[in-house]
Amino acid sequence: MQGAEVDQIIIKIIEGHRVNGVDLFCFLREDYMKKLFSLVVVCILSCLTVQAWAAPVAPTMSYTVDGTQLSISWDSDPEATGYKLNYATTYTGTASFIPMDLGDKTSFNYDYLVEGQTYTIAIQAYSDIGNSGYSNIETFTVPMPILPAAPELTATTSGLDLSLSWTAVTDATGYILSYAPTSSYSGPESFITNDVGGDTSFSAVLWEGAAFVAAVQAYNNQGVSDYSNIEPLTVDPEIPFALIDWRTRESRSDYGVQWIEVPHSLKREDVVDLRLVNSQNETVRTYNDFEFVPSSESFHMDCLSGTCRTAEAINDAGYYSTGSDLTAGTYTFVLETTLGSTLEKESVYKGKIRMPIISGQSIASSWNVDGSLNVEWENPTTDPDWGLVKQIRLDVSSTNSGESITARFLPGFGNSITIPASELALVFNETDLSSLRIRMVTRAIDAEGFHYARGRSDWVDIIPK
């Protein structure tokens, strides 16, 4: 009620005591004056009470909390034009409330409560006349999520086959497999993730030299667990080939060869140490005894028997050493890499075995009109060691490009071969064909298919086409 309204009420009361314009108020007895003022007070309070009934009443609020989601609703008041949500995270009384105007809504939803945080809330209605009182004031604490436990990961490799398995976790609805190449792993933030659903195992085929780290997490509607143990996954490179043999040559001294190919997935700089040890674990060749030989050949094997391979650059780079001081026995090549791997390859050396040699002087060649190449030779079948020969190989080589390109053929145990032009073209271009040379190689091969001795003729030039 405004002050002017109160003044009018008093004036009307006083004017009721005027007679012929004469103010009789001052002549009233004291008890009448008390009654008069009492009447004025009652009238004012009555008017104020009527005015207060027009303001909205305090709503009744209800709420639910589900995880980090809050849902609030309250009853409506026809006298209200809107509502306010009052909230506090550190409640010390209504003065600590932060108001949020919700307009004329009678419900409110919020999805981003903070886990572990305590909130106090209340609703007020408002109109043009003013605000209602507060609704019921409620306090609640958002529960912390109950996350599943971290699984326990087991990783095994067999050759190139990778197998991962992990323990099933109670209350988990699924699992996340995380992995990263070792070379780029800097912590869990560098993981690549894969949701594998409810599976508790995973398998894959890796490749030689593959190196990863992996971990697993369990999850449910409450969130994601910690990482399991983080396991390294490494497929050590394999040494493709290693041998120790004795080589008999036509016009030069015999010598022993120790040869090891570098794993195809490695570069030369990945090899940090190389040694050859005997069966007593004594080192008989050190890294400095070996010479690195880069891959430079095109390989073309056994074409005439129908298993001809398309000529391609073969990654057969390796380390080569010579020496005639080794005794027959079992030796092991030991190669250490920058990956921390120690690779081993065993080789059996049968000693200084002289192989029969097909003389270069018996080798003859000629070109046919269709571009095919005839090669003839004389097998030294009268040699008492001829029985050692298990394979004859014809090497056709060109150095026109500056690097040796060699095609290798297995002609059987005859004494001639015709190499079709189409097969030569798989390895050599026309310029290469103008500078070819050939040699014959006899080979002793054990039951496992490894050669342990060779006899080589001298290289013989082929007359150009």
Residue 312, pLDDT score: 58
Taking the C-alpha atoms of residue 378 and residue 362, their distance in angstroms, rounded to an integer, is 6
Which residue in this structure is represented by tokens 């890499």? 337
Is 217 exposed, middle or buried, given 0-12, 13-18 or 19+ CB atoms closer than 10 A? buried
Which residue in this structure is represented by tokens 């190196």? 211
Residue 441, pLDDT score: 96
393 with 262, same domain: the answer is yes
Taking the C-alpha atoms of residue 112 and residue 69, their distance in angstroms, rounded to an integer, is 6
Q: Encode pLDDT of 136-153 as tens digits.
A: 999 999 998 889 999 999
148 lies in a domain? Answer: no
354 with 404, same domain: the answer is yes
In which element (H, E) is residue 14 found?
Answer: helix 3-15
Number of domains forming the structure of the chain = 4
Residue 340, pLDDT score: 77
227 with 263, same domain: the answer is no
Task: Kindly write down the DSSP assignment for every residue of 384-419, as one continuous string.
Answer: TTGGG--EEEEEEEE-TTSS-EEEEE--TTSSEEEE
247 with 187, same domain: the answer is no
339 with 263, same domain: the answer is yes
Which residue in this structure is represented by tokens 């271009």? 429
- What does DSSP assign to residue 281? S
Taking the C-alpha atoms of residue 367 and residue 465, their distance in angstroms, rounded to an integer, is 6
402 lies in a domain? Answer: yes
249 with 229, same domain: the answer is no
- What does DSSP assign to residue 422? H
296 lies in a domain? Answer: yes
Residue 412, pLDDT score: 87
Taking the C-alpha atoms of residue 296 and residue 256, their distance in angstroms, rounded to an integer, is 22
The number of CA neighbours under 13 Å toward the Cβ of 164 is: 28
Give strand ranges (E) for 227-328. Answer: 231-234, 242-249, 255-261, 271-277, 283-285, 291-293, 318-322
Task: Look up the domain containing 40 and give its range.
Answer: 3-52
Which residue in this structure is represented by tokens 């306010």? 84
272 lies in a domain? Answer: yes
* pLDDT beneath 50: ranges in the chain: 1-3, 6, 9-10, 13, 17-29, 32, 47-52
Q: Which residues contact 264 (CB under 8 A, 6 or more apart)?
A: 208, 237, 240, 315
Taking the C-alpha atoms of residue 401 and residue 6, their distance in angstroms, rounded to an integer, is 118
For residues 181 and 209, the answer to whether their CB atoms sit within 8 Å is no
Q: Encode pLDDT of 41-87 as tens digits.
A: 555 555 444 444 568 999 999 999 998 999 999 999 999 999 999 99
Taking the C-alpha atoms of residue 128 and residue 109, their distance in angstroms, rounded to an integer, is 26
Q: Which residues contact 366 (CB under 8 A, 6 or more apart)?
A: 373, 374, 463
97 with 210, same domain: the answer is no
Taking the C-alpha atoms of residue 163 and residue 146, their distance in angstroms, rounded to an integer, is 30
In which element (H, E) is residue 71 found?
Answer: strand 69-74
118 with 158, same domain: the answer is no
283 with 176, same domain: the answer is no
Q: Which residues contact 353 (CB under 8 A, 6 or more apart)?
A: 246, 388, 444, 452, 453
216 with 109, same domain: the answer is no
Hey, what are 429's tokens?
A: 């271009």
412 lies in a domain? Answer: yes
Residues 435-463, buried b or exposed e (16+ Cβ, 10 A)? ebbbbbbbbbeeeeeebbbbbbbbebebe
Task: Kindly write down the DSSP assignment for every residue of 426-447, as one continuous string.
Answer: TT--TTGGGGEEEEEEEEEE-T
For residues 357 and 247, the answer to whether their CB atoms sit within 8 Å is no
219 lies in a domain? Answer: yes
327 with 266, same domain: the answer is yes
Which residues are bridge partners to 180 per DSSP? 213
Region of 21 on the Ramachandran plot (φ > 0 left; ψ -120 to 50 alpha; else beta): left
For residues 257 and 243, the answer to whether their CB atoms sit within 8 Å is yes
- CATH number of the domain to which 162 belongs: 2.60.40.10
147 lies in a domain? Answer: no
Q: Characterize the bridge pairing of strands 416-419 and 161-166.
A: unpaired
Helix axes 3-15, 30-52, angle to 10 degrees: 140
423 with 280, same domain: the answer is yes
Q: Report the chain's terminal Cα–Cα distance, integer Å.
A: 125
Residue 183, pLDDT score: 77
Name the pTM for this structure. 0.55
Query: 359 vs 271, 303, 338, CA distance in Å?
Result: 40, 24, 46
